[in-house]
Structure 1
């Protein structure tokens, strides 16, 4: 399998994941979910690296915190809308 094929397939996976997580899979939301997923995984598997990055780029750390809050809020809203539709 070529890297291009793998990228296309993973992109499809990310699109579906974003849709299931947030109820929408716009290109902007997909990119936000990619950043959120990568940072969340990195912070759990390599906390010293995340801490170093946070200290090196405090503005980016603040942006990431806002992004995490946005994803959480959108997910909660999506879950509530799913509960009312059932």
Structure 2
């Protein structure tokens, strides 16, 4: 994969994170990327994600916390914009 595509995608992820949460730093971008990919995988390959959740219950709890954080930050960002 070439660097130009990586840079352009990073710009897309940065903007998505800003629009979703109201701010974007490297930590938030990584959380949003994990949240988006996990959400997509849980819908497109539910048995795989269920197996992973069963295999790594601590990671499942971590993902639940991450999903909750993203949801709360998004809700707060939407309130702040009104």
The verdict on a shared fold, with TM-score over 0.5 as the criterion, is yes
Q: CA RMSD in A?
A: 0.8
Runs of 4+ in structure 1 over 2 Å off: none
Matches within 5 A, 1:12-31: 12-31=11-30
- CA distance in 2 between counterparts of 1:47 and 1:38 reads 12
Q: How many corresponding residue pairs?
A: 82
Q: CA deviation at 1:22?
A: 0.1
1:67 aligned residue: 66
Q: TM-score, normalised by structure 1?
A: 0.92
Secondary structure at the aligned position of 1:25 is classed as: coil
1:37 aligned residue: 36
- CA distance in 1 between counterparts of 2:24 and 2:13 reads 9
Q: Could you tell me which runs of 5 or more consecutive residues in structure 2 were left unpaired when the two chains were aligned.
A: none
1:46 aligned residue: 45
Deviation digits for residues 2-29 of structure 1, max 9, x if unmatched? 5221111110000000000000001110
